[in-house]
Structure 1
Amino acid sequence: MGNDYSRAVNFAQLLFPDFSLIACGWLLCRYTALDRRVWGQVEVLVYYFLFPVLLFHSIVRSPLDFNATSHLLTAGLGVGLAGIGLAYALPFVPGLRTRVDRRDHAASAQIAFRFNSFICLALADRMAGPAGLLMIAVLIGVCVPLLNIAAVWPMARHAQAGLARQLVRNPLIIATLGGLVANLLGLTVPDWLAPTLTRIGAASLALGLMAAGAGMQFATLARGKALAVSVLGIRHLLLPLTAWGLALALRLDPAQAAVLMTFSAVPTASSAYVLAARMGYNGPYVAGLVTLSTLLGVVSLPFALSLVR
């Protein structure tokens, strides 16, 4: 009993800095002059500049040892592909076929398998230091392009928009692929530039979490409840259980298992509703799902981490 209590306290302390920033964004947006007009511009800044710089720097600053992390990469890709498969299958599940709006599904399928890299990076750093950051950077570098393609494809297909055009304009895909290419070529960031990139990365974490809080909405979830329950159930229950099974099957060491479980249970990407809105879909509905996912992360993260501890 005492051990369970101490673990709960440790999880709360681990998550508090990140969720307090989300709460700050929510409070500032609703009770001060820093309303949605301000945070909309913050999201653009984070999405197109700050976060791509953080991703690029995280991937390029340390040599990627694919051999040492091969099992972790296999497990991470397994979790991602499981999420994609389950999300894509929802309109064909008996009982959901007539209750799932195909257009809303195209926009919200990404909720089931995308992950909040801001929280992932912050937690990996807090749990395992530079080694944890390197492991999560490898997962981000390999999985973000795949998951972003999987997020864009249903919307581009449903709207009959060019998939290739949407992909080459996505700043997260450009940054991660650029970081991977630079790393594999042995290119490094000059010492004089590294402190600047580190500070930009720190700003992206703080502002990204606050922007996620500022974008939280609930009102639009009155419709599409079955779809909401389904994609959130995949994100916060089925994927952590999948990750747990893969961690056991691949015999990941404790640090890798903790990083994988964090990767599987964090809230969905805060940029999901920006992507949906930019592609002409129901942004407020997706924002509502992001809101619920952010709150569910308070439960799913301790649950997932407790499985391997």
Structure 2
Amino acid sequence: MGVIGIELSILHSTLEVSLPVFAMVFLGALLKRLGWIDQTFVNTASSLVFKATMPTLLFLSILQSEPGSALNLGLVLWYLTISAALFGLIWLWALWRCPRQERGVYVQGAFRGNCGIVGLALAANMYGDLGLSLGGIMAGGIIIVNLVLSAIVLSVYSPVVSSRPLDIVRDVVTNPLIIGIVSALPLAWLDIQLPGWLLTSGNYFASLSLPLALICIGGSLNLTAARESSALALSASLWKVIVMPVTGVAAAIALGYRGAELGILMLFLASPTAAVAYVMARGAGGNERLAASIIMLSTLISLLTISAGVLVLKSLALI
């Protein structure tokens, strides 16, 4: 009974991490189904989150973190390195198993995680301020890597787009999430404090980010695309939510990562495919239906795989 009690306790704490996040996603899908929100609302709210509330959240989470708590550059560099390495591995797989015209969309869907919303929400729910501050820096770094790698692979197989380095640099420099993170770093380093009233107002505004973003993800889910999904969509989804986290976490354990660092790394690597992958695929003239299928399937599957990952790592006392 003692062992069973421990396992049930671990399962309960695991579900407490994942269920609140995914409950908000499915709430968004329900609200869309009931007609209480529509695509116009989703588009407007998503733009607000991306351009304003999420950058504010990242800015304040870094600014209010304990000195040095979020500056684990070793973990951030490892996360970016393993993500780039897995991108290369997925591309090699696509050369062997994927039709040429689908390779760009497939590779992007298989490696580009929704770290800025789902990963960050999970990290914040599990580790609080540390999850937000460290996760915010990791999200900022991976946004840059994702933009560059996605632009490259989509342009290689796109009939309409050519990848120009200046365009990629412009997208990175003007990305609101990057601006929010970068602008907070010198203030945090110098330990500059903002006025109390400004912090309070900022926190009110920033608190809209995660619930609103998760509802928008739910409102964007396309069940028709999931029903029409192909073997390619399932394959890319399994790469994203199973192969990437298992490979990256196993390597991190071998390097000695434990505790919150390992937990946050797992949550980020296991995040489902980012919704922006659909926008980029469509803009590059790729198979947008395949992109939508990957986003939908990976989101549904990740509900189980993220919970399983947290459960296994907790059972092994690694996090």
Normalising by structure 2, we get a TM-score of 0.82
Counterparts of 1:280-295 in structure 2, within 5 Å, are 280-295=285-300
Q: Counterpart of 2:167?
A: 165
Q: Counterpart of 1:21?
A: 24
Say if 1:269 and 1:194 are closer, same or farther in 2 by CA, change over 3 A: farther
Q: Secondary structure at the match of 1:193?
A: helix
CA distance in 2, matches of 1:212, 1:34: 12
8 Å contact kept, 2:238–2:298: no
Q: 1:45 aligned to 2:48?
A: yes
8 Å contact kept, 2:120–2:132: yes
8 Å contact kept, 2:70–2:137: no
- Which structure 1 residue ranges, 5 or more long, are not aligned? none
Say if 1:237 and 1:30 are closer, same or farther in 2 by CA, change over 3 A: same
CA distance in 2, matches of 1:7, 1:213: 27
CA distance in 2, matches of 1:275, 1:55: 24
Question: Deviations 1:142-201 (Å, cap 9, x if unpaired)?
Answer: 222112221222224422253532552358845325523651474657234323332332
Say if 1:154 and 1:229 are closer, same or farther in 2 by CA, change over 3 A: same
Between 21-30 and 141-150, report the one with greater CA deviation: 141-150
Shift of 1:128: 1.9
CA distance in 2, matches of 1:45, 1:178: 14
CA distance in 2, matches of 1:149, 1:68: 23
CA distance in 1, matches of 2:193, 2:112: 28
Q: Counterpart of 1:84?
A: 87
Kindly provide the amino acid, as one letter, of the partner of residue 237 in structure 1.
I
Between 171-180 and 135-144, report the one with greater CA deviation: 171-180
- Which structure 2 residue ranges, 5 or more long, are not aligned? 315-319
CA distance in 2, matches of 1:217, 1:64: 43
CA distance in 2, matches of 1:163, 1:216: 32
Q: Secondary structure at the match of 1:109?
A: helix
CA distance in 2, matches of 1:284, 1:171: 30
8 Å contact kept, 2:95–2:103: no
Shift of 1:212: 0.7
Kindly provide the amino acid, as one letter, of the partner of residue 279 in structure 2.
V
Between 188-197 and 34-43, report the one with greater CA deviation: 188-197
Kindly provide the amino acid, as one letter, of the partner of residue 145 in structure 1.
I
Q: Counterpart of 1:297?
A: 302
CA distance in 2, matches of 1:172, 1:87: 28
CA distance in 2, matches of 1:200, 1:110: 32
Kindly provide the amino acid, as one letter, of the partner of residue 217 in structure 1.
N
Q: 1:212 aligned to 2:217?
A: yes
CA distance in 1, matches of 2:66, 2:112: 25
Q: 1:73 aligned to 2:76?
A: yes
CA distance in 1, matches of 2:185, 2:88: 30
8 Å contact kept, 1:83–1:239: yes
Kindly provide the amino acid, as one letter, of the partner of residue 24 in structure 2.
L
Say if 1:71 and 1:156 are closer, same or farther in 2 by CA, change over 3 A: same
Between 53-62 and 83-92, report the one with greater CA deviation: 53-62
Question: Deviations 1:62-112 (Å, cap 9, x if unpaired)?
Answer: 47749962442243123312331123223312xx14xx352x432342222
Q: Counterpart of 1:238?
A: 243
Which 4+ runs in 1 deviate beyond 6 A?
A: none
CA RMSD of aligned residues (A): 2.9
Shift of 1:39: 1.6
Kindly provide the amino acid, as one letter, of the partner of residue 48 in structure 1.
K
Kindly provide the amino acid, as one letter, of the partner of residue 114 in structure 1.
R
Q: Counterpart of 1:10?
A: 13
Q: Counterpart of 1:270?
A: 275
